Amino acid sequence: MKLLEKIILGLVFLASVIFQIHNISLYNPDFGFDGQDHQAYISWITANHKLPLPGMGWEYTQSPLYYLIGAFFQTISINPQFINLLAFMVIGWVIYKYSKSFIATLAFFGLPMMNYLVPQISNEYLSGMWIVITFFIILKIPKIKDSVLLIKQILLASFVIALGFYTKYTSLTLFPILLLAIVLNQHFSITQKIKNSLVAGVFIFILISPITFRNTELYGKPFILAEDIQNIWDKNKTRDLPFFIRLDWIPKVDIFSAREYSFTGGLWNTFWHDGNHSASPVVSFHKKAFGLWALGFPLSIMSLWGLFQIFKKKKTEAILLFSYLVVALASLVKYSLLAPHSNSFKAFYAMGIIVPYALGLSAFSKTGKWQYRLNAFLLLVQFATMVSYFWIQPWWHLVK
């Protein structure tokens, strides 16, 4: 990485930390996605010094790790909102460390989804951190030739998946990617691959069994969702094929309400800007939000182009990256069918997509000088627009 790139990244990182601390200092944690319920979970642990049962509250069905850390922070008089800031910095460091790419790291710092969630009380960001860490561990598995080192890497990936599970169930979406990585390793026989896959599966099963056994004993199923405890969803909501594939939100330039009628529109608006107004002013249209929304189109095309370039040179890595996109999309579709509500599908429910997105942009930037310059320019514009749009003002409705 060139010196100028390191200097720019250093300035972007410093600006990001200042930006996030400013927003945390003003943001009312009652806002966001179920902010009050997440806080109730933390406060219950702080007051009772034990975990609540899933049926005791709306968010109590969530795995406990985030809330245990939040209760610890609360006990030592540290705002639990800083958990997300720590996770934000860890993800940025992991992407930088693995990719060694100016573009990939800048793609993370500039992506709206990775920024507007930080000041909120929510387990999504910590869950995303475990997923990103696991993803990069998994990407190394197909290259390993030593059997002992391979087992260590598989156990490490399995352990971090379990940590993610204790934060949110969505980390299990990486289990099939882990198995695929084991299969794609050409240095071992089919028998060894089967054994290694069993090792991963059994280890994860053992690690997550305290929660799955408890849930099965109490509720008759290993994975308990809020919908199992309290049904608030409108079962009459349309979830037919047109809902999942319609793209009319694009010509409409529907940057906020697309989630009411379009699966793709809802995901797009949570990835490229704050389509739910969880950390931004409530207006029908905003020029900066539109700018972020529009930037998503060239950046998406460049990222996909880059992923295909990776496929030409590093086929195994590309297969894992594309496979996760498929698994992540399938999980979002399944949850949307299970809970037919406009809040049941958001891009950050599959936060691991930041990995193929960032690596794709990095690969695109390496295809030529103008590609690199265009990529860097658009990402810097995105970062500046994102900071100016999400910089919380004291008179906003979501201020403490």
* 338 pLDDT more than 90: no
Residue 189's CB: how many other CB atoms inside 10 A?
Answer: 8
- Statement: residue 234 has pLDDT above 60: no
Give the residue among 296, 334, 304, 335 at the shortest CA–CA distance from 322: 304
Residue-range domain boundaries for the chain:
3-390
- Using an 8 Å Cβ cutoff, are 155 and 203 in contact? yes
Which of left, alpha, beta for 32 (phi over 0: left; psi -120 to 50: alpha)?
Answer: left
Inform me whether the pLDDT recorded for 232 exceeds 60. no
Rounded CA Rg of the chain: 21
Residue 341's pLDDT band, with cuts at 50, 70 and 90, is: confident
H helix runs in 76-221, sequence order: 82-99, 102-110, 113-116, 124-140, 147-165, 175-184, 190-219
In whole angstroms, give the CA distance from residue 84 to residue 65.
Answer: 13
pLDDT over 70 at 265, yes or no? yes
What angle do the packed helices 82-99 and 65-75 form, to 10 degrees? 120
DSSP annotation of 141 reads: G
User: For residue 97, how many other CB atoms are within 10 A of its CB?
Assistant: 10
- Calculate mean pLDDT across residues 153-178: 97
Per-residue pLDDT of 40-72, as tens digits, reads 999 999 999 999 988 887 789 999 999 999 999
> Among 214-223, 297-306, 310-319, which is the least confidently predicted range?
214-223
Average pLDDT over residues 90-110: 97
- Token pair of 261 as six digits: 């009628």
Tell me the pLDDT tens digit for each residue of 105-133: 999 999 999 999 999 999 999 999 999 99
